Amino acid sequence: MKILIIFIISLSLLILHPIGTKASGKPKEIKNNIFGIHIHDENDLEEAAKLVNSKGGDWGYVTIVIRKDDRNTQKWQESFNKMRRYHLIPILRIATRPQNGGWEKPSFDEIDGWVSFLDNLNWVTKNRYLVIGNEPNHAKEWGNELNPEEYSNYLYQFSKKLKEVSNDFFILPAGFDASAPTDAIHMDEAQYLQKMVNENENVFEYIDGWSSHSYPNPNFSALATKNGRLSIKTYEWELSLLKNLGFKRDLPVFITETGWIHSKNGRNGNLKPSRLSDRFLTAYKDIWLADERIVAVTPFILNYQESPFDIFSWKDIEGEFYEFYYEVQKIEKVKGNPIQNRALKVIALLFPKIIKKDGLSYGLAYAKNTGQSIWIRGLVERINDGFRSHNIIPIYQKTIEPGSSGLIFISENILTAK
Domain-wise residue ranges, the chain? 2-20+340-415, 27-329
- Can you give the C-alpha Rg of the chain in angstroms? 24
Does the pTM surpass 0.85? The reply is yes
Residues 6+ apart with CB under 8 A from 189: 137, 176, 177, 178, 180, 238, 241
Nearest to 256 by CA among 188, 168, 170: 170
pLDDT score recorded for residue 4: 46
pLDDT score recorded for residue 353: 80
CA distances from 259 to 222, 256, 273, 311 (A): 10, 10, 12, 10
Mean pLDDT for each 10-residue chunk of the chain (418 residues)?
Answer: 45 37 65 97 96 98 98 98 98 97 97 98 98 98 98 98 98 98 98 98 97 97 96 98 95 98 78 95 98 98 95 96 98 97 92 76 92 94 75 92 95 56
- Concatenate the DSSP letters of all residues of 36-89 into one string: EEE-SSGGGHHHHHHHHT-TT-BSEEEEEEEEGGG--HHHHHHHHHHHHHHTEE
pLDDT score recorded for residue 233: 98
Contact 195, 201 (CB under 8 A): no
Q: What single letter denotes the amino acid at residue 367?
A: A
CATH 3.40.190.10 assigned to domain 27-329? The reply is: no
pLDDT score recorded for residue 265: 67
